[in-house]
Amino acid sequence: MIRGDTIIPVSVEALDHLAGSTSVESFLELRKSLMTDDANGRDEAVSTNNRPAIIAGIILAVFLASTLTITWLRRSPNAPSRSRS
């Protein structure tokens, strides 16, 4: 709420950021810093959101490597070679 040249917090969220009434200039500086911090937080959230894709890629690579290894180990060294007739 604005009264003259001061801003008075009236909600719980406003009270979290302001301990009491403040000047308009001080409020605008606080608001600008909060918006900058929020924008930086969103950038960090986007950059760290690729972790599930990395984990899925690692699991897929391990699965494919184990499948190839098991297939190679099950191959019989004494299998008859195919002859052409």
Residue ranges of E strands in the chain: 2-3, 6-7, 22-23
pTM of the model: 0.38
| Burial tier of 82 (Cβ tally within 10 Å: 0-12, 13-18, 19+) | exposed
| Burial tier of 7 (Cβ tally within 10 Å: 0-12, 13-18, 19+) | buried
Q: How many CB atoms lie within 10 A of CB 47?
A: 8
pLDDT tens for the chain, 85 residues long, are 777 888 777 777 777 767 677 788 888 888 888 888 766 666 555 556 788 899 999 999 999 999 999 998 888 777 666 666 5
